[in-house]
């Protein structure tokens, strides 16, 4: 409910906006305000139910005159609200289909451009632990060649917050010509979602006027974790034992933790 109020602020009258901003600033206090103060008993009941169901997080824009405390809290609140929103929206059936496609793939490629390239790189690092070829590149020429030379057993994970980047949409088309599976992690209703075989759509609003997009990247990274976990479970116990051996082999690359002295 708090997210819905925030999204409709600009459409409210001056008096309505004043009440809405008071609720957003202190929802717990608003829940206990008098009917004369808020005006709607049914609204108070729905607000109370909303606060019981979910933590008090709401995405709020950063303003130029915000204090360090204010913009810090806003960024954390926006991140938490965005992740909570994505969790409620994710389609379990699409996740299941995506995990199955990844588990059966002979080759997986993770492609993104700009900020999404960082997410694609992180996904590659996770899937490199698994026993199958994984490709990553932020070079559009290499991305195109990979899609042109793809086959029916390949899966291309294309990551784009807007889903309107022309190059990413073109990659989806090139890969699908060769009957490859295209899994898009993108916004709902976007051109990339329309071109993909499967689309995990994340409706994450970004405040890009003051600071760079970040909530969408957090949501994308979390979805990658979901896919990697599903992949591990789908492959079975024997595969998980192999992962344990990989982890053991990497132990020598780390220094041992120092025992803390008791004061």
Per residue in 72-127, pLDDT (tens digit) is 888 888 888 888 889 988 999 999 999 999 999 999 999 999 989 999 999 999 99
DSSP letter, residue 133: -
Per residue in 8-24, pLDDT (tens digit) is 777 788 877 877 787 77
Cα separation, 176 vs 196, whole angstroms: 8
The per-residue b/e assignment along 85-101, b for 16 or more CB within 10 angstroms, e otherwise, is bbeeebeeeebebbbeb
Phi-psi region of 143 (alpha: psi -120 to 50; beta: other; left: phi over 0): alpha
Which residues partner with 111 through β-bridges?
Answer: 158
DSSP letter, residue 183: E
Sign of CA pseudo-dihedral 45, 51, 52, 54: positive
Sign of CA pseudo-dihedral 157, 224, 117, 71: positive
Per residue in 203-251, pLDDT (tens digit) is 887 765 556 667 899 999 999 999 999 999 998 877 777 777 777 777 7
Two structure tokens written together for 26: 């202190």
pLDDT value of position 52: 47
pLDDT value of position 259: 58
In the chain, the domains with their CATH numbers are 2-89 (no CATH), 92-247 (3.40.50.10490)
């Amino acid at each position: 409910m708090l997210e819905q109020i925030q999204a409709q602020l600009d459409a409210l009258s001056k008096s309505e906006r004043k009440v809405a901003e008071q609720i957003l600033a202190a929802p717990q206090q608003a829940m206990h305000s008098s009917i004369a103060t808020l005006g709607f008993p049914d609204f108070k009941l729905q607000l109370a139910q909303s606060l019981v169901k979910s933590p008090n997080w709401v995405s709020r824009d950063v303003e130029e005159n915000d204090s360090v405390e204010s913009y810090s809290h806003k960024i954390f609140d926006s991140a938490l609200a965005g992740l909570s929103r994505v969790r409620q929206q994710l389609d379990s059936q699409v996740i299941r289909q995506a995990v199955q496609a990844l588990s059966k793939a002979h080759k997986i490629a993770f492609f993104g451009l700009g900020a999404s390239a960082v997410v694609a790189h992180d996904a590659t690092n996770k899937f490199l632990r698994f026993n199958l070829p994984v490709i990553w590149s932020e070079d559009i020429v290499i991305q195109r060649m990979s899609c042109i030379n793809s086959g029916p057993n390949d899966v291309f994970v294309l990551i784009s917050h807007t889903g309107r980047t022309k190059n990413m949409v073109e990659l989806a088309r090139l890969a699908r010509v060769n009957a490859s599976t295209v899994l898009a992690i993108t916004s709902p209703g976007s051109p990339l979602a329309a071109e993909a075989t499967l689309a995990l759509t994340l409706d994450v609003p970004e405040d890009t006027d003051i600071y760079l997009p970040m909530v969408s990247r957090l949501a994308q990274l979390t979805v990658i974790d979901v896919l990697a976990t599903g992949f591990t479970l789908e492959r079975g116990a024997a595969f998980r034992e192999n992962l344990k051996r990989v982890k053991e082999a990497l132990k020598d690359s780390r220094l041992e933790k120092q025992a803390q002295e008791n004061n």
